[in-house]
C-alpha cells in the first residue's frame, strides 16, 4: 500500500493530501530513510513523522485498505510520541 494512503487509512494523518504534503516535504521516513508519498509500506516497517514540535514513531502491524474509525489504531503500534524542545 502507498505510504500516503496508509497514513490516511490508519488515521495517523487525517487527510491524504496532508499526508502527501508531509512526505514531499521530507517529514516522513520509513525505516530511517526519507520516503515519498508513493513508497510502499509493509508490515513491520517503522514510520517516523516529524511535525513542527513533535515526533511520532510507529510500527506497522496491519495493512488494510478499509478500516472503521474505531479499529484504525490497531493498524500500528505507537513507539514514540514526544514533543521536541
CA–centroid distance for 10 within its chain: 8
User: Distance between CA 85 and CA 75 in Å, rounded?
Assistant: 29
User: Distance between CA 43 and CA 58 in Å, rounded?
Assistant: 11
pLDDT tens track for 19-68:
999 999 999 999 999 999 999 999 999 999 998 889 999 999 999 999 99
pLDDT tens track for 3-18:
999 999 999 999 999 9
Superfamily of domain 3-83: RNA-binding S4 domain (3.10.290.10)
Amino acid at each position: 500500500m502507498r505510504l500516503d494512503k496508509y497514513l490516511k487509512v490508519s488515521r495517523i494523518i487525517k487527510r491524504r493530501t496532508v499526508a502527501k504534503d508531509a512526505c514531499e516535504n521530507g517529514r516522513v521516513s520509513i525505516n530511517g530513510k526519507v520516503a515519498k508519498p508513493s513508497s510502499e509500506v509493509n508490515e513491520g516497517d517503522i514510520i517516523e513523522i516529524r511535525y513542527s514540535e513533535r515526533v511520532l514513531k510507529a510500527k506497522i502491524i496491519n495493512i488494510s485498505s478499509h478500516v472503521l474509525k474505531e479499529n484504525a489504531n490497531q493498524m500500528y503500534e505507537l513507539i514514540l510520541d514526544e514533543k521536541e524542545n
